[in-house]
Structure 1
């Protein structure tokens, strides 16, 4: 059974190339964007060894396709594979572990284009529900 799309959400399953020393392998990652949180993108790497779920701002992901960006948990930079394909290398770290992978630039462009269709660049604040943000913060503090 196929899940129906959720209005205001872009979810795309991408295959990324895990750059483990001596043994590169493919890994699936969910890239998730929700208009309720218009500035952010969540990524879930489906790895039993390193279950990372970083969050980053959408503008950094878009810039990472063109130039090195990052610091903190996620850094990324454009690169080319040995056969000349454009990729973005992502270095992700956290208490759960670290990983370095490459993502197809073309796939990232498609994901980002879908997010910008929902919320064009520069209009993020128009979609931000501050009351909902405050309520989530208060609720998370109470738990």
Structure 2
């Protein structure tokens, strides 16, 4: 199985989401691709199958988690060590505990941004 240097990121300014980026050489288009999905999906998926849309996460064996990314071009299946995902999720929970995401959002600024071009 080939290793792909994907990067998993969390930004407290978008506390409900995580992002996984794949470098250009690892993609069909030859450009970096970034998938954004729910932190809760990742958290649930390390223990049991989760997701029905473009991103699905499920345990695989005793030490792996599978992330599936579904697009028109095809499906990418990525195996990640479950321990690494659990450490990542622990780190995100230290920044923003699960259930406290809304406290870390600036709803007024987000609403202004959404309504900026409204007539």
Q: Shared fold by TM > 0.5?
A: yes
Matches within 5 A, 1:24-35: 24-35=1-12
| Greater fraction helix | 2
**Corresponding position of 1:49:** 28
Gaps of 5+ in 1: 1-23
Cα separation, 2, equivalents of 1:102 and 1:86: 10
**Corresponding position of 1:77:** 58
Task: Give how far 1:131 is off.
Answer: 2.2
- Compared with structure 1, are the counterparts of its residues 136 and 30 closer, same or farther at alpha carbon in structure 2 (3 Å cutoff)? farther
TM-score, with length taken from structure 1: 0.71
Question: Which 4+ stretches in 1 moved above 6 angstroms?
Answer: none
Task: Give how far 1:132 is off.
Answer: 2.7
Picking from 84, 100, 116, the partner of 1:123 is: 100
- Compared with structure 1, are the counterparts of its residues 28 and 137 closer, same or farther at alpha carbon in structure 2 (3 Å cutoff)? farther
Contact 2:57–2:67 (Cα < 8 Å) also in 1: yes
Q: CA RMSD in A?
A: 2.0
Task: Give how far 1:96 is off.
Answer: 5.3
| Greater fraction strand | 1
Q: In the alignment, is residue 63 of structure 1 matched against residue 44 of structure 2? A: yes
Corresponding residue pairs, total: 114
TM-score, with length taken from structure 2: 0.84
Larger relative contact order (CA 8 Å, sep ≥ 6)? 1
Cα separation, 2, equivalents of 1:90 and 1:30: 13
Task: Give how far 1:61 is off.
Answer: 0.4
Cα separation, 1, equivalents of 2:85 and 2:14: 19
Structure 2 counterpart SS, 1:67 = coil
